[in-house]
């Protein structure tokens, strides 16, 4: 085959990969479906245990409500344990073998947790011990049977293309992608259909780099539009230049990235992938918050921001009236900033200056800045001007805690001078953050200032927990009272 015909084939391959039709059902729905089935089984077995005991010991009747309560609580414990163990992930549920050991261990832990709750709440006498034992014995057997049936059905659905991963994409060398068979993709990501992007086959290095950048940009746009969560890299491990190019281009995307073994590595290690195996890969980029973590963080944001708005509403109304009386202009200052995944949004603040800059050139406020109004100095020093951002939190553009968003003009500059700056977009921006409650508040007049802030922001992203968010909120209160760097 000539070079020209091979390159034409690779261009056709790129078009084919980029237009690969999505599967009928997203893989993101699979964990929810399987956990719902397990919950139904557990509650049903709990009721069955009560019915068996009533038929033998209490023909006149027995209250089944306590048994149903036990079933609901047991399903919550069991699903949490299974989720933490990754047994609802598509790559695991698509494997052929049933995880007998794991399911039995998690069920045993569920029984221990139920016993602990009964002991702590002193409600053991409310439940029948015989019914509880029957429940604990029959449930794991049915769970194992249901798991086997679910795997068979899921395997058929994946093979027929009905289930696929819409949250994962594959990018790499054309030949490496072609070498990945459907069973390989099934072992790697739990699906045979993922959206694929083939890199250029150009011989000239400059032309190839330019073409690769175009493909990576297409991938980045697809990831943002479809809220993908993982990027798989199929590259020769010796091609370090391409790997570095992809890493540099995707670091702003809040996704996990894994480098798959290339064809040579697989042949040298005699690595055989099959649906029951744990695939070997290298983590190139760590994923941001998981789905459960995002859910709990969002729930906390909604609850606390609603409470805060109710509490501060009188103060906000007085502030709005005072701004209107002091100087002409809008009460709310609006400015475009970047949020999660680099998406732009409009941030709200009480107007504190005589100007409303929102363009390619924005001058940061300095101490004694003549553009700041008299009321604005009070609002900025007390951080009252930030209160309208509670609306941004409710809209989902921001979080209560996260890296502070900067104006687009400043973002563009900081991204050119700091290689790690883009990682700040792996979480939602916040009204306050780890950097702000550690003194990195206010203007960033030098690269050293923003570099220190970025280090603190990245530490927060890599060490996030709900408890850390609570600590930051409390520390912010003391930082506001200090009025450090607030002008």
Question: Tell me: the pLDDT tens digits for 313-363?
Answer: 999 999 999 999 988 889 999 998 988 888 889 999 999 888 776 666 666
Burial 75-112 (b: 16+ CB within 10 A, else e): bebbbebbbeeebbbbbbbbbeebbeeebeebbeebbe
Q: How many CA atoms lie within 13 A of 377 on its CB side?
A: 9
Average pLDDT over residues 79-98: 77
Q: For 233-242, 275-284, 364-373, 449-458, which range has the lowest pLDDT when averaged over its residues? A: 275-284
What pLDDT score was predicted for residue 310?
94
* Cα(154)–Cα(156) distance, integer angstroms: 5
- What is the percent of the chain with per-residue pLDDT over 90, rounded to a whole number? 21
Answer yes or no: is pLDDT of 5 > 60.
no
* Cα(219)–Cα(215) distance, integer angstroms: 6
Answer yes or no: is pLDDT of 433 > 50.
yes
What pLDDT score was predicted for residue 287?
74
Does the domain made of 3-23+165-285 have the CATH classification 3.40.50.720? yes
Question: Tell me: the pLDDT tens digits for 12-22?
Answer: 444 445 544 45
What pLDDT score was predicted for residue 402?
93
Distance between the two ends of the chain, CA-based, in angstroms?
Answer: 69
What pLDDT score was predicted for residue 241?
87
What pLDDT score was predicted for residue 239?
87
* Cα(224)–Cα(254) distance, integer angstroms: 9
What pLDDT score was predicted for residue 312?
94
Specify the domain boundaries for CATH 3.40.50.720 within the chain: 3-23+165-285
Whether the model pTM is above 0.75 = no
What pLDDT score was predicted for residue 15?
44
What pLDDT score was predicted for residue 105?
92
Q: Work out the pLDDT band at 421, boundaries 50, 70, 90.
A: confident
What pLDDT score was predicted for residue 392?
96
* Lookup result for tokens 């390159």: 7
What pLDDT score was predicted for residue 327?
84
Question: Tell me: the pLDDT tens digits for 252-273?
Answer: 888 888 888 887 776 765 544 4
Average pLDDT over residues 148-161: 78
Q: For 131-135, 186-190, 377-381, 395-399, which range has the lowest pLDDT when averaged over its residues? A: 186-190
- Among candidates 88, 426, 11, 27, which has minimal Cα distance to 257? 426
């Amino acid at each position: 085959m000539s070079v020209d015909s091979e390159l034409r084939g690779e261009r056709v391959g790129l078009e084919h990969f980029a237009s690969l039709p999505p599967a009928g059902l997203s893989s993101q729905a699979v964990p929810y479906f399987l956990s719902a089935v397990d919950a139904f089984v557990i509650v049903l077995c709990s009721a069955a245990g009560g019915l068996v005991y009533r038929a033998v010991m209490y023909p006149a009747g027995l209250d089944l409500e306590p048994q149903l309560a036990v079933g609901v609580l047991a399903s919550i414990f069991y699903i949490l344990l299974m989720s933490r163990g990754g047994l609802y992930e598509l790559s695991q549920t698509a494997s052929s073998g049933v995880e007998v050991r794991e399911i039995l261990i998690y069920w045993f832990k569920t029984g221990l947790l139920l016993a602990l709750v009964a002991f702590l709440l002193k409600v053991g006498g409310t439940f029948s011990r015989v019914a509880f034992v029957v429940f604990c014995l029959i449930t794991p057997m049915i769970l194992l049977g249901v798991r086997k049936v679910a795997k068979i059905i899921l395997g058929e659905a994946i093979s027929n293309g009905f289930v696929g991963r819409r949250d994962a994409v594959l990018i790499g060398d054309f030949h490496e992608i072609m070498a990945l068979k459907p069973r390989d993709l099934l072992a790697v990501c739990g699906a045979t259909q993922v959206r694929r992007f083939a890199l250029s086959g150009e011989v000239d290095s400059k032309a190839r780099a330019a073409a690769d950048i175009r493909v990576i940009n297409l991938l980045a746009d697809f990831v943002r539009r479809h809220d993908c969560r993982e990027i798989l890299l199929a590259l020769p491990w010796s091609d370090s230049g391409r790997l570095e190019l992809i890493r540099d281009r995707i670091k702003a995307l809040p996704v996990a990235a894994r480098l798959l073994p290339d064809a040579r590595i697989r042949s040298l290690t005699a690595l055989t992938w099959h649906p029951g195996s744990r695939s070997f890969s290298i983590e190139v980029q760590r994923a941001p918050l998981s789905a459960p973590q995002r859910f709990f963080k969002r729930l906390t944001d909604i609850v606390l921001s609603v409470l805060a708005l109710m509490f501060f509403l009188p103060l906000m109304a007085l502030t709005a009236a005072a701004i209107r009386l002091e100087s002409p202009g809008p009460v709310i200052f609006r400015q475009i900033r970047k949020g999660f995944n680099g998406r732009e949004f409009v941030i709200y603040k009480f107007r504190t200056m005589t100007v409303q800059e929102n363009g390619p050139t924005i001058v940061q406020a300095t101490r004694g800045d003549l553009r700041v109004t008299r009321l604005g100095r009070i609002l900025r020093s007390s951080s009252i001007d930030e209160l309208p951002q509670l609306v941004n939190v409710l809209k989902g553009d921001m979080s209560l805690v996260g890296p502070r968003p900067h104006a687009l003009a400043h973002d563009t500059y900081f991204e050119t001078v700091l290689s790690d700056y883009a990682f700040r977009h792996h979480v939602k921006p916040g009204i306050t953050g780890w950097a702000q409650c550690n003194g990195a508040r206010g203007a960033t007049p030098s690269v050293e200032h923003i570099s220190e802030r970025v280090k603190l922001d990245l530490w927060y992203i890599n060490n996030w927990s709900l408890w850390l968010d609570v600590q930051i909120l409390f520390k912010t209160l003391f930082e506001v009272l200090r009025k450090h760097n607030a002008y």
